[in-house]
Structure 1
């Protein structure tokens, strides 16, 4: 049995860690609550006695990283492409993707490779980008295996209570983050989310599986009374019957009827069962409308502003649109339209960026690669450790120009016995025992305000704004004229656009700070404190993904969404950073 500890484990997004600590301190007697922030590259080098704390606050990425490091099987390098895969995924990779005997399917043969991703631009072994979920290679083929390399500190104890903040982070039950959370044990479990269901009913299962609510989270055997939380299709259950003889209660009575017949009798019955029986018994729901008298929130006004391109922007957009249509038509003529969704999505993204600012397309990294230039402008992303994804501490730069914390790289090598770069699988030749190995990070890897798209502009003196930026500045000016103490939050999906907005606002004398996913926890906390406490800081620039959840920013009364998102729930969450308890001003 696991050792029991009497403290509460809080798992939240990185941006909310410091705020959780501050809220705990604010709502408890001074000195009565002991809080541990379990985060950062050096967390594994310390010994923790969790019994000496009342709260342990950590992040989803930390939980997932510890789980992958200690519990999941080590990756194996492919002999042909030098990339690393989990054992079961390697079998699929060799069968369909790589090697002399690989059999590419008819669908794969129709997929078009991106022309700008050739080896001359990226360099051998350096083209490993972020893998997109949903691709064939991302299907759930790997098996966790039975050989464990030990448990992480968080997985080796039984907690008194586990709280998931923004619990929809585990909505995909097959992802490693969800698996890492499922592996935690506790006496009590809470799941907090304003948007537990965003895309489909099946997303609720991850929360029910985490809460382990019987019978909704269980698998049942058709041949005996066996009841289990998880099943492995490649192994027999402990009851002796095959895994195919087990069924998931949720899939049988809720997900499948709704998926295949939401308008049918079975689908309507499943929806009624979900609403009246399942959710009523496990969800504590309080809406703003239902508790309006208690909350007394100020009114919220939503305005849709429409502006027209100037002549240069219109010409640029029409040229890009024509080019995109030509590419799209080529897929239609070739009969490969359904096999190139990723490329079509890329074309649409470029059009959306052109509406924000032509610079996002003309000076993007992709455009630079298309011209055959060696892209050395990775900025702040390259100064992040490739293992913990935080700002690198005690920096080590490998021969393949990837940056890591020295501690992370040493633990990675010691744990996995791997001598290849975790980012690109290039063999490591760095000597971690000498000072020479900790090479100074090149200027192009350090990041900073001139590292992103601004560094790719030929001359900042010739910087031109866009219609959207001009409209934003006008709205900010009206905001300040109407209320001298008003503050606003600007959201965009493109961090490069935030850089352009920041430069334009600062040039106009408007003080602002920015928060995005490239910043570490300390930098995010510093930006939040500056915006809240500095009366001269009027604007908070945020990426929709990094700042649209978990934050309490009632000091602001205006929200500006610079580009729409396909999921309205995400936009609503972003707006609710200011429309919440503690807000007294009317918001726009």
Structure 2
């Protein structure tokens, strides 16, 4: 330890206290609230106030549906700023939740009894941004709401315009003297709240960097999933919170991450001690005063395993064998790293064929389209400016400026010639909503771009990262083609299987089982509704046909729809009894939605991240649900889906242990001496010998 680290660590550990507050000592419901706080919310408000006094903020990690929003609003009401130059609370949230936050503030607060004034709220998004010229314009508001995408864009414009011009990119915004109201030298918020704070879990994304660079007195993270894939994701939140000494990645890794990886028996207790100091988490099953926090109807999760039909099994085995042979060749030639993104793509194909073989066949058809592969796709990559090529090559990871998800390299697209990124799922919607033609403006730099001249990372990587020639790319295309050709009948058009109006549509094992579940629900619970989740929007397209054939009324919700259309779909599903089913893409609908109109959830395909699936389930299992909730997770036996389940299990082990309530309670019962010893310090706060 060095640089005063002992003192910082000692201060942090002294902040570990039991969560329980006796009823007579709890803060009551603030007068300005129109609702009465539940007991766990009163305790949460007391805890938040205490953390602002000692650490200037922390992580509220209550389970989904326990009222993180109302606790935060209560904090804003009870602890306003007295400094007119730093009076505003900035709330950063996914774009889909901006209006929801605004509604909650409006509905849940009442005017000041003395002044008659209500909290003033401004949403800095879309055309409303034009009303703001500087940070001073935002000081008239008590709360400013904005999205992660906007913060990323503001950061890029404020800090990077000059850099890009220096690198020769003449297409950036000409206002190179732009001063963002979020990053100016005089900007200092009173409080910053990150809602769904796991959006900054990846430290190298622009979103994470931008949020960490914001200045404020108090800083909060709200998330039901502070860690999803690994413990390292927690460090990004700690860095934003500026909680010493673990806001420095090196120290976090030294004391926690590396020790966990090396199975150090003290590592888990250190992690739990850190969490106990900076995080409050209650689940739906937690008890206060001997009673459960919530009395929700039960949630039953069933793992429903099925076997392929003979034809499906033959196709899967053939595809799996072809992929295995391809990967083995890459390994023998020492070129697996060079083709790693392509290997991941092949793995994705195995996951897709577990849903429906046409997902793979359609991808193959698109990949082999002579109008685009490889000549056109190479030409589009060559449209990129030299500076944009350099930026792409030196960027470790990419975040979509629309949905704010980290972009998998298989879904990574670039506008040309500026080279700014967008994911494949958001790209169609962006062009549809932005223009009536193929030409619109890049969502980052506002340069004119063409939807028909988008560069994709796969070919960019082959061209510029691995320096492959056009003939080498052509050879890879032929190799890729051979994997799909074995099971395609001679002369059969690959896309006819998706023809909704012909006789060629065919079902799959998963679609058959999905429809059986829906029909059983209709028979046993005629008034109850069903949510069907899938990762693949193209799979939802195919499911639609099966539902139509069975005369099942359904709605759709995915990222390709406009915000207005998505909102209308939720309203119709909630209010119209004629709609029995809603099909939702897991990426678009796993957070922020309340779908208590449904009490049955079908997860069509497993995701690497088990917490994303849990968020999807809890769209239905939350406050307002009157019926027991039944979740059906569908799997195909003896396939890649078995291995996904194993990976999910491994991810859960460390994270669930770290957040275990009983383990956290044991940590809070340790005295200061024991806690210091855990971190190798004596009672004086010096390194123990």
Give your verdict on TM over 0.5: yes
**In 2 relative to 1, CA 347–76 (structure 1 residues): closer, same or farther, beyond 3 Å?**
farther
- 1:11 alignment partner, one of 74, 85, 92: 92
User: Does the CA contact (< 8 Å) of 1:190 and 1:211 recur in 2?
Assistant: yes
Partner of 1:317: 316
Deviations 1:134-162 (A, max 9, x none): xxxxxxxxxxxxx9844323334322322
User: Gaps (5+ residues) in structure 2?
Assistant: 1-82, 112-116, 377-410, 456-493, 631-689
Partner of 1:208: 238
CA distance in 1, matches of 2:571, 2:119: 22
Secondary structure of residue in 2 paired with 1:71: helix
**In 2 relative to 1, CA 420–540 (structure 1 residues): closer, same or farther, beyond 3 Å?**
closer
Deviations 1:101-159 (A, max 9, x none): xxxxxxxxxxxxxxxxxxxxxxxxxxxxxxxxxxxxxxxxxxxxxx9844323334322
CA distance in 2, matches of 1:550, 1:197: 18
Within 5 Å, give how 1:177-188 maps onto structure 2.
177-188=207-218
**In 2 relative to 1, CA 454–528 (structure 1 residues): closer, same or farther, beyond 3 Å?**
farther
CA distance in 1, matches of 2:439, 2:199: 28
Deviations 1:449-507 (A, max 9, x none): xxxx9999456323222221121111111112222221222111111111222333244
> Where is the helix percentage greater, Structure 1 or Structure 2?
2
CA distance in 2, matches of 1:335, 1:341: 11
**In 2 relative to 1, CA 250–308 (structure 1 residues): closer, same or farther, beyond 3 Å?**
closer
Q: Give the Å deviation of 1:248.
A: 4.1
Partner of 1:368: 366
**In 2 relative to 1, CA 76–50 (structure 1 residues): closer, same or farther, beyond 3 Å?**
closer
Within 5 Å, give how 1:414-563 maps onto structure 2.
457-458=498-499, 460-462=501-503, 463-563=505-605
Q: Give the Å deviation of 1:538.
A: 2.2
CA distance in 2, matches of 1:464, 1:77: 56
- 2:440 alignment partner, one of 387, 400, 403: 403
- 1:168 alignment partner, one of 195, 198, 216: 198
CA distance in 1, matches of 2:517, 2:170: 49
Q: Give the Å deviation of 1:542.
A: 1.7
CA distance in 2, matches of 1:342, 1:256: 27
CA distance in 2, matches of 1:320, 1:581: 45
Number of aligned residue pairs: give it: 446
CA distance in 1, matches of 2:119, 2:84: 22
User: Gaps (5+ residues) in structure 1?
Assistant: 86-146, 219-246, 414-418, 426-452
Partner of 2:471: none
Partner of 1:294: 293
CA distance in 1, matches of 2:171, 2:311: 47
Coordinate RMSD, CA, aligned:
3.7
Partner of 1:35: 121
CA distance in 1, matches of 2:421, 2:228: 30
**In 2 relative to 1, CA 331–289 (structure 1 residues): closer, same or farther, beyond 3 Å?**
same
Q: Structure 1 residues 45-54 or 209-218, which shifts more?
A: 45-54
- 1:575 alignment partner, one of 594, 611, 617: 617
- 1:279 alignment partner, one of 263, 275, 280: 275
Secondary structure of residue in 1 paired with 2:150: helix
Greater length-normalized contact order (CA 8 Å, ≥ 6 residues apart): 2
CA distance in 2, matches of 1:352, 1:479: 27
User: Does the CA contact (< 8 Å) of 2:245 and 2:251 recur in 1?
Assistant: yes
Q: Structure 1 residues 309-318 or 160-169, which shifts more?
A: 309-318
CA distance in 1, matches of 2:148, 2:110: 28
**In 2 relative to 1, CA 274–336 (structure 1 residues): closer, same or farther, beyond 3 Å?**
same
User: Does the CA contact (< 8 Å) of 1:71 and 1:149 recur in 2?
Assistant: no
User: Does the CA contact (< 8 Å) of 1:5 and 1:50 recur in 2?
Assistant: no
Q: Give the Å deviation of 1:424.
A: 5.3
User: Does the CA contact (< 8 Å) of 2:190 and 2:218 recur in 1?
Assistant: yes
Q: Structure 1 residues 342-351 or 168-177, which shifts more?
A: 342-351
